[in-house]
């Protein structure tokens, strides 16, 4: 039986249980109703056992390989970033969770709308699986990162798969890019600004790192941001050097590893 999705427009901060609950759309249906089925908005994953819930947002909630698909994939693989939701999933099983779209919205209002729901959820954290109450941000634990790393370690993509990924990237360039010509609202810009703050972002990391040039034995002391800019160093490689993942980078050795 083919599923039909009835869209309800709402700006109220209330739960709206839509027709589509806990199911994924099939590929044959996606081709016919792709624009509607992706569903931009806010959703909840609710435990039928105790009513606890997880709030999230996406510009593709229940489309092909959308947010719900990814959640279920990670949960069933036992590598979901949210340990509390993962533990409940392992304990109660997939059948004891409901997936509900609670509000549709424009893509430009997505983070702002999600933040409204998270502000309400934050008032009673015991009823919520979310541990981060800033829209658009996901905090992966070291344990989850290691699990995902082990899961993908040693896997090699076929030439056909690589070509498909390349073609997909080419389709997203220029005027075909999702955000081409779009401008973020002031509220969204403020959310992005908050996410970038903190020691995890090199621009805000004020730690002084000590690098030694192995050829000249010169000692350099500066922040990660200044080291990148003043010595034209790659951000990723410098980060790997400072974190001890590599011993040398462009002849530099870090003397005070993180």
pLDDT-derived band at 32, boundaries 50, 70, 90: very low
Q: State the pTM of this model.
A: 0.49
Higher pLDDT, 243 or 139: 243
Residue 222 has pLDDT above 80, yes or no: yes
State pLDDT tens for residues 112-162.
999 999 999 999 999 999 988 888 776 666 776 777 777 777 778 888 888
Residue 90 has pLDDT above 90, yes or no: yes
Supply the pLDDT for residue 160: 87
pLDDT-derived band at 33, boundaries 50, 70, 90: very low
DSSP state of 153: T
> What do you get for the CA distance between the two ends of the chain, in Å?
56
State pLDDT tens for residues 46-66.
999 999 999 999 999 988 788
Q: Among 80, 86, 66, which Cα is nearest to 24's?
A: 66
CB 42 within 8 A of CB 67: no
Domain ranges in the chain are: 1-138, 209-254
Q: What is the mean pLDDT of residues 238-256?
A: 88
pLDDT-derived band at 31, boundaries 50, 70, 90: very low
What Cα–Cα distance (Å) separates residue 56 from each residue in 62, 99, 115, 132?
12, 11, 10, 11
Q: What is the mean pLDDT of residues 31-57?
A: 81
The CATH class, in words, for 1-138 is: alpha beta
State pLDDT tens for residues 207-216.
899 999 888 8
């Amino acid at each position: 039986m083919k599923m039909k999705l009835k869209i309800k427009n709402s700006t109220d901060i209330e739960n709206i249980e839509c027709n589509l609950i806990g199911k994924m759309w099939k590929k044959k249906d996606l081709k016919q109703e792709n624009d509607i089925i992706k569903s931009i908005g806010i959703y909840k994953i609710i435990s039928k056992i105790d009513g606890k819930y997880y709030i999230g947002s996406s510009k593709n909630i229940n489309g092909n390989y959308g947010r719900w698909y990814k959640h279920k994939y990670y949960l069933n693989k036992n590598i979901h970033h949210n340990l509390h939701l993962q533990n409940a999933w392992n304990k109660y099983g997939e059948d004891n969770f409901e997936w509900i779209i609670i509000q549709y919205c424009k893509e430009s209002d997505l983070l702002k709308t999600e933040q409204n729901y998270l502000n309400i959820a934050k008032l009673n954290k015991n009823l919520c699986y979310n541990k981060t109450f800033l829209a658009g941000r996901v905090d992966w634990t070291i344990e989850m990162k290691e699990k995902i790393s082990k899961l993908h370690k040693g896997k090699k993509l076929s030439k056909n798969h690589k070509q498909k990924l390349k073609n997909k990237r080419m389709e997203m360039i220029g005027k075909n890019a999702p955000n081409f010509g779009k401008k973020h609202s002031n509220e969204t810009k403020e959310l992005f600004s908050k996410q970038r703050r903190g020691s995890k972002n090199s621009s805000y990391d004020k730690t002084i790192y000590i690098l030694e040039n192995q050829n000249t034995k010169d000692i350099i002391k500066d922040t990660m941001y200044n080291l990148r800019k003043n010595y034209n160093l790659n951000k990723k490689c410098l980060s790997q050097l400072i974190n001890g993942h590599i011993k040398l980078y462009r002849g530099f050795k870090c003397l005070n590893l993180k």
